[in-house]
Structure 1
Amino acid sequence: MTTKLYLMRHGQTRFNAQGRIQGASDSPLTDLGIEQALAAKAYFDQQNISFDAIYTSTQERACDTAELVTGRTDYTRLKGLKEIDFGAFEGQQEFLNPPLQKDIGYGDYFVTYGGEGSLAARQRMGDTIRQIVGDNDGKTVLVVSHGGAIAQFYRGVLADPPQVRMRNCAILDFEVTGSQFELFSIYDPVAGEFLYDQEHGVPKDLELRFGETT
């Protein structure tokens, strides 16, 4: 059977607004972050999309986003969906991030500083989401996670992953059959535009360039 998987990033947080590195640390949604989550709710409502099951990371920003998007509290919190741990860089300004590397993100850069490697995050996200899909065969599922973790996940399950920055509350639309993940689109419900769709790919002005920090 085919499982419908909607994977989305949380709304804007205080650290996002301040340009701070936010992985294992947490900060609350801003007023804009709340508005973004409500825009996602409106999109799902307009599309008549409802969820048989809801999963979030254990971090407050993801849980609060899920509650705003669905109006429900009957979700499951999983540590496997948390953001990448940036070690000693947590809470520091984002300009301190090293350049991104194509396909592997930051690699093992943060491991030296007590953090998590990109490929380790990819493995745990893949394991966690495969288990979610296995537990919800043929159903419609919402998973709320984090930008870095989501990027590592889809780089691991897609042969030609789109190279795009993951905006707050961006929604990835997957269908999963057996072990195969098919990505149809990445939609920004706030701007009302597709960051990626299967037919047209990523718009040129939205392509993520490597060798730059993010």
Structure 2
Amino acid sequence: MLIGWVRHGKTDWNAEGKIQGQTDIPLNAEGISQAAALADRLSGEQRIWDAVVSSDLQRAYTTAQIIAEKLNIPLLEGDKRLRERYFGEVEGTMEHERHARWGKDWRRTANGVEPDAEVRARGLSALHEWRQDYPDRNLLIVSHGSFIAQVLSELCEELEDQHLTNLSYSILELQNDKWYPRLYNCTIHLNK
């Protein structure tokens, strides 16, 4: 089984440096172009994906729609478990605002920030369900940076912790009940 991980395309809040969390911000024109670039890349490679599933937040779901349409594969219903980490009162702020208000350790001091363990638990719950329901299907997941980073670090301890850029593409392969990276944080499709 292969699982692909794609971070959604760029939004205006990404461009402004605002943290989005579960605030439902749409893709901007650049984000739509980024999604099309990955869709073009994947359509020119050997077909490995059977379906696309994404967060139900519009920036991820729109990215997933663009990819699924180009690859002519099913787009499954948006899944709330694939949403970005909930950032509570921090959502909509820029880094300098967070540091000024809550300090550099804002993830621990601001109210309502979803803990790592909860983010990982909902991601692993979805993955476990898909392994049971679709053991012979390779799924491409479109989600969010902090969410993907948490799940990947849980599944593949040997992965280097990198900032996942918009429209980064990663692939994990399940072998003997262990996940192995085949591709990590790749953005070559954005360089064209």
- The TM-score normalised by the length of structure 2 is 0.87
Q: Deviations over 1:149-190 (max 9, x none)?
A: 000001111122222110111111111235311111121121
Match of 2:170, SS state, is strand
Match of 1:26 in 2: 24
User: Which of residues 26, 34, 37 in structure 2 aligns to 1:36?
Assistant: 34
Q: Is 1:176 equivalent to 2:174 in the alignment?
A: yes
Q: CA deviation at 1:53?
A: 2.1
Matches within 5 A, 1:1-214: 3-71=1-69, 74-95=75-96, 96=98, 99=104, 109=108, 112-177=110-175, 179-186=177-184, 187-188=186-187, 189-191=189-191
8 Å CA contact retained: 2:8, 2:60:
yes
Aligned to 1:77, the other structure's residue is in SS state coil
Shift of 1:13: 0.8
The range that moved more, 27-36 or 69-78, is 69-78
Deviation >3 Å, runs of 4+:
97-100
The question of whether the paired residues in 2 share the 8 Å contact of 1:36 and 1:190 is answered with yes
CA drift at 1:54 = 1.7
Q: Which amino acid aligns with 1:16?
A: N
Deviation, 1:70, is: 1.8
TM-superposed CA distance for 1:5, in Å, is: 1.1
Alpha-carbon distance in 2 for matches of 1:133, 1:76: 17
Report the RMSD for the aligned CA atoms in angstroms.
Answer: 2.0
Distance 2:160 2:51 in 1: 26
Structure 1 CA distance, aligned partners of 2:85 and 2:26?
Answer: 18
Alpha-carbon displacement from aligned partner over 1:113-153 (angstroms, at most 9, x marks no partner):
12311221112112212222332212221111100000000
Query: Which letter maps to 2:33?
Result: E
1:117 maps to a residue whose letter is P
- How far the C-alpha of 1:17 sits from its partner, in A, is 0.9
Moved more, 182-191 or 34-43: 182-191
When the two structures are aligned, how many residues end up with a matched partner? 183
CA displacement 1:22-43 (0-9 Å, x = unmatched): 1010211111101110111011
Distance in 2 (alpha carbons) for counterparts of 1:149 and 1:99: 20
Give secondary structure in 1 for the equivalent of 2:47.
coil
